[in-house]
Structure formats: C-alpha cells, structure tokens
Structure 1
Amino acid sequence: MPQQGPPPPEVIRIPTASIACDGSGEVSPALGHPRVYLRVDPALGFVECGYCDRRFVLAGGPADSQAA
C-alpha cells in the first residue's frame, strides 16, 4: 500500500522510465540542486526526487491518473 502523506509539490508525467532532475524549471538551474538520475519503479509507476520531492509519473503506468 502506498504511503500516505502530503501530496508532492509537483507532478511531472514522463514518457520513459529514466529521468534526470536538477531542481530547475521555474527557477534557474543555479538555484536548483545537484543533478540526480532517477528510475521509475515499474510496480509503482513513479519515482520521487530526494532533493526537491518532485514526483515523476510514467505515462501509461500504474500511477498515471491521466491514462485512458
């Protein structure tokens, strides 16, 4: 059963199971965090960044609420 807690600050749908996160986006990369490489857990369908708590959801995976 997934852990209950506050929702992630940002959810990003991704097309592949691997992603790099540096905390940038609306802020300059210089204000983000060190780049980390993350891999989606196939059973969960998502991975969360340990620095900025963004949740990366695999499109069409078990955690994708937009999947048809």
Structure 2
Amino acid sequence: MTQCVYLIDDDDAIRDSLSTLLASVGWQRQPYASVADFEHQHSDWRSLRGCLLLDIRMPGKTGLTLL
C-alpha cells in the first residue's frame, strides 16, 4: 500500500486548498470532512500507511480526540 496523507478538516476551503497543495508536490492524499467520515472508511488502522493531518476544532469528534 502506498503512503498517504489523510487530511481531516470540516472547512471545505481549507480542505480543498491543502489537498491541492499536497497534490502539487506529488503526495497522495485522501481528504475527509469529519472524523466520522474517516473512521467509517478506515475501521482497521493497522492497514494504513502515511500520516494524519488533523483540524483540532471540529463539530463532533475533534482531531485531538481522534489522535
């Protein structure tokens, strides 16, 4: 599995901008609008390769809570 930046941010503009920036330097990225969306897609964390880029203030579960 390739390494990826898992980008979780509830602000559409921030998420889109960061995703575009990461893509411009050739990094694989997967953007999510919430921690719940991320957890729904990735229930088994052991299979993930890469890093998390988290917003720390979001409605519901925050980036700090996930971390």
TM-score (norm 2): 0.28
Larger strand fraction of residues: 1
TM-score (norm 1): 0.28
Larger helix fraction of residues: 2
